[in-house]
Amino acid sequence: MKNQLILDGKRVATEVKEKLTSRIETLSKKGITPCLATILVGDNSSSATYVRMKGNACERIGITSKQVHLSEQTTTEELLQVIEELNHDNNVHGILLQHPVPSHINERLAFDTIDIDKDVDGVTSLGFGQVAFNQGKFPSCTPAAIMEVLHYYNLPIEGKHAVVIGRSPILGKPISLMLLNENATVTICHSKTENLPEIVKNADIVVAAVGKPEFVQGEWLKEGAVILDAGYNEGNIGDVDYESCLEKAGAITPVPGGIGPVTISMLLKHTVMAAELKAELSPAK
């Protein structure tokens, strides 16, 4: 068997967080503590767990976690009022509205109410537009994590054919734009795509973001392709059939321990950047 490169997301995330420590210390000397406000609407247990994990990750490196928990009966107007209050709170640098919100709430309107300078989770329409023009400060965190892994391992992007399986507005679409901005040739596939295995077989880079467990099969792959599994399904299973894809891939992210840890580190990084920009410091890359 040839040597495959296992793309270790935990290692990447650890280095990202280590680099943030000195930046947080610099802000502290100016009397500034980066603060991420998370809003949870309702009592979804998985969402509550995610919010708690993000809060713990913040606290571990010196970012303040401000958690706002609203009832299931919260109206769109009430949620918008909470977001506006956080927009105007000078001690809050980033705002994250945990997805999904209860179905009676206008989620897109809520997302787009977040101040663009505090949109550290990359969910606003304006932020998406900025990413498309290669001007986005805070892209969605999972696409940012995918790019971070590619850059960390010096995997070539320019001129490569990338196939993205999935077209969500906070994952499939923005990662396609970010790869395109780095001169990849990008094909976006989805549930209606015909002859998907044949398209994937031409890919140098495959991003699996379809939300179906073990969907991508090893027999679909070109020998030596780079596989980035952005899926997370029940039972800690990704969107890629890991064992069969491992046989063909030149590099692959595992689940868990791949893109997931880096996604949280990108949220922390964006929050620190937002605090630096607020303090008129030049954010590090």
Sequence ranges of the domains in the chain: 30-115, 140-261
121 labelled catalytic: yes
What mean pLDDT is reported for the chain? 95
54 labelled catalytic: yes
CATH number for 30-115 (one of 1.10.10.10, 3.40.50.2300, 1.10.287.3510, 3.40.50.10860): it is 3.40.50.10860
The residue from 17, 118, 119, 121 that is catalytic is 121
Phi-psi region of 235 (alpha: psi -120 to 50; beta: other; left: phi over 0): left
Please determine, for residue 1, whether its predicted confidence score (pLDDT) is greater than 50.
no
Domain 30-115 and domain 140-261, same fold? Reply is: yes
Phi, psi of 176 (to 5 degrees): -60, -45
- pLDDT, one tens digit per residue, over 204-237 is 999 999 999 999 999 999 999 999 999 989 888 9
98 labelled catalytic: yes
How far is the C-alpha of 274 from the C-alpha of 4, rounded, in Å? 37
How far is the C-alpha of 182 from the C-alpha of 281, rounded, in Å? 26
**40 pairs with which residues across the strands?**
69
- pLDDT, one tens digit per residue, over 166-182 is 999 999 999 999 999 99
User: Which of 205 and 285 is assigned the larger pLDDT?
Assistant: 205
- pLDDT, one tens digit per residue, over 245-280 is 999 999 999 999 999 999 999 999 999 999 999 998
The residue from 8, 98, 204, 269 that is catalytic is 98
Contacts of 28 (CB under 8 A, 6+ apart): 62
The residue from 8, 17, 54, 118 that is catalytic is 54
What is this structure's pTM? Answer: 0.95
- pLDDT, one tens digit per residue, over 114-150 is 999 999 999 999 999 999 999 999 999 999 999 999 9
Structure tokens at 47: 């969402």
Percent of the chain at pLDDT above 90?
Answer: 92
- pLDDT, one tens digit per residue, over 75-95 is 999 999 999 999 999 999 999
- The third-level CATH classification (topology) of the domain covering 140-261 is Rossmann fold (3.40.50)
Please determine, for residue 284, whether its predicted confidence score (pLDDT) is greater than 70.
no
pLDDT at res. 282 = 63
